Amino acid sequence: MRHAALPFLLAALAAPAAAQDSNTWSTMERGLYLFRLGDCAACHTIDEDRPMAGGLGLPTPFGTIYTPNLTPDEHSGIGDWTADDFHTAMTEGVRPGGERLYPAFPYTHFTHVTREDTEAIYAYLQSLEPVMNRVPDPEIPWPLSMRTAMRGWNLLFFDDEAGLEPAEGKPDEWHRGQYLAEGLAHCSACHSPRNLLGAEKDGPASYTGGVIEGWFAPSLRSTEGGEGIGDWSEDDLAKYLRYGRNGHTAAFGPMAEVVEKSTRWLSNADAAAIATYIKDLPYDAPDRVEMEEVSADDPVMQHGERIYATQCAACHGIDGEGVKNQFGRLAGSSLTQAENPLTVVRMVLEGARAVPSDKYPTPHAMPAFDWRLSDEDVAAVTTYVRNAFGNAAPAVSAETVAEIRE
């Protein structure tokens, strides 16, 4: 019972931070803001001319499912849903009629969203142009196509009664951050590892990084360097969410799109709130060992240094210092030194673009080096950047590069 009461408590807690907004915004404007914060369009819009008409195929571990049409079309969309129906779908993962949704829809997060907020999103969605678009049925092999199977999954991994624990002594801003990050923003959907059934690991394993679309979404837990974004300040994180860049790096890969479509719309207060919450995530990994750097005398390091000097230094600097808000700093970078080298190798192979934003419109991009560098070259240069400039991280093998190159 204590849990069930929490959403209301949270709404009350959230109120001060949102006050400036709710005073001046209509329900519709709030709905649009929250809709963007939930990054709903990322999955439900595939054609900019027909927003939210759904139909995107998602290759999940369960098979391909198609995102539904959320326009107010009465036949193919949610034109006949009530605000109650929408709230139930958001927070319990159940459609009107009792059919269960696949957990590719992050209801495990949206369960935390308050009734007031789902209503605002509902109001915004109902204001869209109705689009007739019947999306295909899921292509999921028996027995999973029976959505009742989801019930079992939900039993294991989902508790719609679960709420967010208020923390003693944490300020309002922290609670607002928790509400946003755990709920609509669903940060851990990418930044947590998943179990074999595709469910996020929780507890101390949550937010320790995950693999998504072939990129490594780094740990968000605040360790002492080495992993994740431990070397970022709260302000660095807030800037990154708002503008796609900070003094350390820029958003690229899947996160570029999150910034482009979602977090750049955050109010300064909400960006700061999320940063406060995320930067306060505790870290507890007794088995973590101090990395020992690969020696500079290692022939691989020497080969890597030669490649670095001719291919990388023009932008990232001979000492890995980068150019602030333009080219990523490699020296001391936790992203560069992440235990999983997937992101570093992938960036070298196929390039990556910093998300342009209104504040930083320049679309700085790293070029693709796959045509130019061999697997051995890429292994050497990534090993080098992970172990030069005072960095230390496991060496990258040519085999690993070859696998990622596939």
Partner 1 sequence: MTRILPEREVVVVGFGWTGAIVAEQLTDAGMDVLALERGYWTDTSTDYAVNNAQDEVRYRYRDELFEDLSRETLTFRNEVGQTALPMRMLGSFLPGTNVGGSITHWNGQAWRFLPSDFQARTHNTDRYGTGIFEEGMTVQDWGVTYDELEPHYDTFDKICGISGKAGNLGGEIQEGGNPFEGPRSSEYPNPPMRMVAAPLKFADAAQELGYNPFPGPSANMSQAYTNPLGVQLAPCSYCGFCEKYACGNYSKATALTTIVPALMRRENFTLKTGAMVLRVEKDRQNTRATGVTYIDTEGQEYFQPAQMVVLCTYITHNVNLLMQSGIGEIYDPRTGEGNVGRNYAYQAMSGASVFYDDFAVNPYVGAGALGQVIDDFNGDNFDHEGLGFIGGGYIAQWQTNGRPIESHPVPEGTPRFGAGWKRAVRDNYNHTIGVGAHGAVMSHRNNHFDLDPTYRDAYGRPLMRLTFDFRQNEVAMSAYLTDRVAEIARAMGGREVRVNPMTVPYDIAPYQTTHNTGGHIMGETPADSVTNKYNQSWDLPNLFLMGAGNFPQNPGYNPTGTVAALAYHSMKAVRDQYLANPGPLVQA
Partner 2 sequence: MKYFPGSLGHFTRRGFLVGISSVAITAPLAAREYRGGIPWRPKEAVPPDAYDPDARFFDDGERAFVTAAVDRLIPADEYPSASELGVVDFIDAQLAGSYGRGEIYYMEGPFEDGLPTQGYQAQAPALLYRQAIADIRDGLARAGQPDFVDLPPEKQDMLLTALSEGEDELEHTDGRTFFETLWQNTLEGYFGDPVHGGNRNMEAWRMIGFPGARYDYRPYIDHGGEPLSFEPISVGGRMVQ
Nearer to partner 1, 26 or 326 (CB): 326
Return the one option of partner 2, partner 1, none that residue 327 interacts with (CB less than 5 to 8 A, by type).
partner 1
56 lies in the site for partner 2, by CB under 8 A: yes
Counting residues that bind partner 2 (by CB under 8 A) gives 52
Least distance from C-beta 67 to partner 2, angstroms? 8
Distance CA 268, CA 83 (A): 29
Torsion angle, alpha carbons of 258, 264, 269, 270, to 10: -20
Tell whether the torsion through CA atoms of 87, 91, 93 and 98 is positive or negative: negative
Among 190, 274, 381, 401, binds partner 2 (CB under 8 A): 190
Q: What is the dihedral of CA 324, 326, 330, 335, to 10 degrees?
A: 110
Stretch that binds partner 2, among 56-64, 77-85, 166-174, 234-242 (CB under 8 A): 56-64
- Residues forming the site for partner 1 (CB under 8 A): 311, 313-315, 323-327, 351, 353, 356, 358-367, 369, 372
- Distance in angstroms (rounded) separating the CA atoms of residues 310 and 357: 30
Interface residue with partner 2, options 50, 115, 134, 194 (CB under 8 A): 194
Query: What distance separates the 2 farthest-apart alpha carbons in the chain?
Result: 69
Q: Rounded to whole angstroms, what are the CA distances from 297 to 212, 293, 319, 373, 384?
A: 35, 11, 17, 22, 11
Site string for partner 2, 317-356 (x = CB under 8 A): -x------------------------------xxxxx--x
Going by C-alpha positions, the residue among 275, 243, 85, 63 that lies closest to residue 174 is 275
Among 302, 365, 390, 399, binds partner 2 (CB under 8 A): 365
Query: Quick check: 173 and 17 in contact, CB under 8 A?
Result: yes
- Smallest gap, in angstroms, from Cβ of residue 103 to partner 2? 11
The answer to whether 316 and 213 are in contact (CB under 8 A) is: no
CB 330 to partner 1: min, Å? 15
Alpha helices, DSSP H only, in 38-82?
40-44
CB 254 within 8 A of CB 187: no
- Cα gap 401→406, rounded to integer Å: 9
102 scored as a contact of partner 2 (CB under 8 A): no
Whole-number minimum distance, CB 357 to partner 2, in Å? 11
Q: Given the complex with partner 1, which of 48 and 165 has the nearer CB atom? A: 48
CB of 88: closest distance to partner 1 in angstroms?
37
Residues that bind partner 2 (CB under 8 A): 42-43, 46, 48, 56-63, 67, 141, 144, 189-190, 194, 196-198, 210-214, 254, 257, 306, 309-311, 313-314, 318, 349-353, 356, 363, 365, 367-374, 377
